[in-house]
A and B are shown apart, each in its own frame.
Chain A
């Protein structure tokens, strides 16, 4: 087990290096830079050169990259060009907010989607199955920003039940924090539910057709026992993989939802740093996202044996 974890972590190093190099290079190849944005239309060449020098942006790109890499190895991701804040604490602070949102949403989506998908497969071709499939497809097709705006208009504006904007950390005030999270969580749950239901249904259908399920039924087990004991553990594998991918993606920032609901999360930070050409913040965020992705998928792989004993991590 330890060797497996170590080998996975070591194999992630080249990936992370390539991600860093690509991000570092590509963001600098996009026209526009932080100095132009800071100086705006007041720009003159002297001021431009002075500020570029001050920010170290006049050095050759390979030198800038090596200096940044040196900082990364020392746990220093630099400082934001825009606000002057150290990048690592900033990224961690924003990630904590995104993580609250995403973990609650994915948890709820899983609790809803997996039973629904399994039941739909069990009642294949029934009105219930048709309803679940149509509903899941509709939810998958609706973009999260539109879903978010509709929730906002209905529950925030029409009914006035929920706050339209702002964010309160549940760790500071649980009641208020939960209230502010309801709509963004709902927007994510509805969208991810659609995808997970489809996957859970499809994998359950595959398992239900296998001989050992017929055998279990022939033994006289109830349908509930068959589904719980024999179908669920075998059918959950693909959904679990998908869950890992979804979690990795969402933890990397749900920029649209965060923007619509004014949540100061990692996704919004990434978008702001792209528009502001805040190189250190963007580099730090994307490196962090890549690490998160690797770690989440490692955890997913490590959890496989819990559902499927045939899978070993050695």
Chain B
């Protein structure tokens, strides 16, 4: 006969196990539309690789929601009077995923290794090609990092925080294999880099010793606490399969969805569709060097022929909001000046066409089917231009081909989206340059180029605001292209996923919990 005492222990163990039900490891399964290119922040990257880098790594500073710069691994910094020396003070007690403490010497080594990487995407921002050159990185003591530039650079901190630069995430030397090649990131972020099965999945594990900052979630900074134990990023190239997997519960989040697919799921109570605009730009580009479109009157006629609110509404399935300015609505620089746009005025188009000497020449609008918004913009624009008496046709290209034509400037009109720009000056510099220097330049007005250069070296504040205001007014006078709206990230998650959101085009896995 089994005694009560002998039964008591197993029963107690069972009760403990049942009581610990809340501690069952929770996994967030997320679609990854294609595999990441590499695991090294800012090196051989694309947007999906950046997303992983931003979850695993942290830089000295990070972007906040308003495009402002927040402290991250650095708790504070000072800039010398001449604007060339940045002195960062590191937070105490921050550790890498291998348990090693974050020291100034390791920060210096990480920066130097990243800048020396041949495929470092942001080399131009730090080697003097596209701004100031980093001439020295010093670690005078364990908590102080001093970075010296060859000239003042107002964009230095913002370049440092850019997602395409991997946020200049600080990684431990253990990230490299014994032969000096990159192995996997040993960073400081809320998630550690787990198993990467190429072509199949990337697993991120909660970093148990992560010390979140106080406050709330703010851009890529602020309170970054991992609430799930594992994020399983599953490579699922086919969107129909991803939606089926979401419905079956094999996926919890599909982070990047077309607006039309999202529209189909909006009414379903099992899912939450979230749309968040970012600093990317939905545009209808015009080649100002083209014989027909070189006339300002002609470009103005095109702009006035477009009913932009309607176009944006339809092209984005009601999820987008028109924005006539390159300064995103969420930016602190989006003043009332930037609310001004070219109003829909088809009655004025004939006079403008006559003034431009337009004689019915056909305009070709290039687009692609990879991004449904581009295709919608092209189709709707063509219809509106035809109605206004502007002869146009659509040329659908494969994305790589359209990009190639964009690079060389070989287009008349192009329904084109620019990727996320975290600062207005990055948005303006993407379109503004001399066409002789850069084939992809759209706006080559000397005054605009001068203003962008000025904004690049002007620190945040009123002077910068004035520059952006003048740039927008100049844009409205010259209409070098049609800015339609800010691009959006549309995501869908199962309703049992709580507090999931994307910001600036990236999925944030911290602060997300799952209650199945």
Residues on the A chain within 8 Å of B237, using CB: 259, 262, 268, 272
Residues of B within 8 A of A277 (CB): 400
Shortest beta-carbon distance from A166 to chain B in Å: 6
Interface residue A111 (Cβ < 8 Å from any Cβ of B)? no
> Are A164 and B241 touching (Cβ within 8 A)?
yes
Contacts of B437 in A (CB 8 A): 44-45
- Inter-chain CA distance A40–B402, complex, in Å, is 11
Query: How many angstroms between the C-alpha atoms of A195 and B198 in the bound complex?
Result: 34
User: Is B386 an interface residue when CB atoms closer than 8 A count as contact?
Assistant: no
In angstroms, Cα B134 to Cα A145, docked, is 52
Whether A156 and B198, one on each chain, are in contact in the complex, defined by CB atoms closer than 8 angstroms, is no
Question: Is A157 a contact partner of B247 (Cβ separation < 8 A)?
Answer: yes
On chain A, the residues within 8 Å of B197 by CB distance are 264
Cβ-based interface call for B407 (8 A): yes
Q: Which of B35, B400, B404, B406 contacts A275 (CB 8 A)?
A: B400
Q: Is the CB of A30 within 8 A of B401?
A: yes
Contacts between chains A and B (CB distance < 8 A), count: 130
* A44-B404 contact, Cβ under 8 Å, with A156-B244, A259-B238: no
Report B-chain residues with C-beta under 8 Å of the C-beta of A90.
Answer: 198
The prevalent SS among residues of A at the interface is: helix
For residue B307, CB closer than 8 A to chain A, the reply is no
Residues of B within 8 A of A36 (CB): 400, 403-404, 407
Within B165-222, which residues are at the interface with A (CB < 8 Å)?
197-201
Asked if B331 is at the interface (CB within 8 A of a chain A CB), the reply is no
Among B34, B238, B242, B399, which residue has its beta carbon within 8 angstroms of that of A272?
B34
Q: Which residues of B contact A152 (CB under 8 A)?
A: 241, 244
Instruction: Pick the residue among A41, A83, A153 that contacts B244 (CB under 8 A).
Output: A153
Q: Report A-chain residues with C-beta under 8 Å of the C-beta of B245.
A: 164-165
Report which of B46, B199, B241, B248 forms a contact with A268, defined as CB distance below 8 A. B199
User: Which of B38, B238, B398 sits near A32, CB closer than 8 Å?
Assistant: B398
- Nearest-CB residue, chain A, relative to B406: A41
Contact partner of B118 among A54, A259, A262, CB < 8 A? A54
Q: Does B250 lie within 8 Å of A163, measured CB to CB? A: yes
- Interface residue tally on A, bucketed by range: 35 or more
Q: Does B275 contact A (CB under 8 A)?
A: no
Number of interface residues of B (CB under 8 A): 52
Give A82 to B400 CA distance when docked, in angstroms. 14
Complex Cα distance A32/B248, Å? 38
B198 near A83 with CB under 8 A, answer yes
CB nearest neighbor in A for B438:
A44
Measured CA separation A163–B249 after assembly (Å): 10
Q: Which residues of B contact A94 (CB under 8 A)?
A: 199
Q: Mark interface residues in B406-420 (1 if CB within 8 Å of A CB, else 0).
A: 110000000011110
Which chain B positions have C-beta within 8 A of A42?
Answer: 121, 164, 419, 430
Interface bits B138-177 vs A (CB < 8 Å: 1, else 0): 0000000000000000000000000010000000000000
Partner of A43, one of B236, B250, B440: B440
Q: How far is the CB of B249 from chain A (nearest CB, A)?
A: 9
Please report the C-alpha to C-alpha distance between residue A260 and residue B236 in the assembled complex, in whole angstroms.
Answer: 8
Question: In the assembled complex, how far is the CB of residue A36 from the closest CB belonging to chain B, in whole angstroms?
Answer: 5
Pair B250/A40 contact, Cβ less than 8 Å:
no
> In the assembled complex, which residues on chain B have CB atoms less than 8 Å from the CB atom of A157?
244, 247-248
Known contacts A32-B398, A47-B124, A165-B245: does B37 contact A82 (CB below 8 Å)? yes
**B361: Cβ under 8 A from any A Cβ:** no
Greatest chain A CB density within 10 A among B250, B401, B439 is at B250
Residues of B within 8 A of A165 (CB): 234, 236, 241-242, 244-245, 250-251
- Say if the beta carbon of B235 comes within 8 Å of chain A: yes
Please, which residues of chain A bring their CB within 8 A of the CB of B405? 31
A33 CA to B198 CA in the complex, in Å? 23
Please indicate the chain A residues that have their CB under 8 angstroms from the CB of B38 in the complex: 83-84
Residue of B nearest to A271 (CB): B237
Q: How far is the CA of A313 from the CA of B245 in the complex (A)?
A: 51
Asked if A32 and B401 make an inter-chain contact with CB atoms under 8 angstroms apart, the answer reads: yes
Answer whether residue B44 sits at the interface, using C-beta atoms and an 8 A cutoff: yes
Q: When A30-B401, A31-B401 are in contact, do A41 and B418 touch as well, CB less than 8 Å?
A: yes
B370 to chain A, nearest CB (A): 9
Q: In the bound complex, do residue A46 and residue B401 qualify as a contact, i.e. CB atoms below 8 Å apart?
A: no
The contact string, 1 if C-beta is below 8 Å from chain B, for chain A 61-79, is 0000000000000000000
Q: Which residues of A contact B44 (CB under 8 A)?
A: 38, 82-84
Closest to A32 in B: B400
Are the CB atoms of B247 and A262 closer together than 8 Å? no
CB distance B199 to A45 under 8 Å? no
A264 touches B199 (CB 8 A): yes
A32 lies within 8 A of B244 (CB):
no
Judge whether B450 is part of the interface by a CB distance below 8 angstroms: no
Task: Determine if A187 is an interface residue (Cβ-Cβ < 8 Å).
Answer: no
Known: A42-B430, A45-B439, A164-B248. 8 other contacts (CB 8 A): A30-B401, A31-B397, A32-B403, A42-B121, A42-B164, A44-B124, A51-B119, A264-B198
Leading 7 A-B pairs by shortest Cβ distance: A32-B400, A264-B199, A31-B401, A32-B404, A164-B245, A165-B245, A164-B248
- List 20 contacting pairs A-B, 8 Å CB cutoff, sorted by A: A32-B399, A32-B403, A36-B403, A37-B400, A42-B164, A42-B430, A43-B403, A43-B406, A45-B438, A82-B44, A83-B35, A83-B37, A90-B198, A153-B244, A163-B250, A165-B242, A259-B238, A264-B199, A269-B199, A275-B400
Interface residues of A (CB under 8 A from B): 30-33, 36-38, 40-48, 51, 54, 82-85, 90, 94, 149, 152-153, 156-157, 160, 163-167, 259-262, 264, 268-269, 272, 275, 277
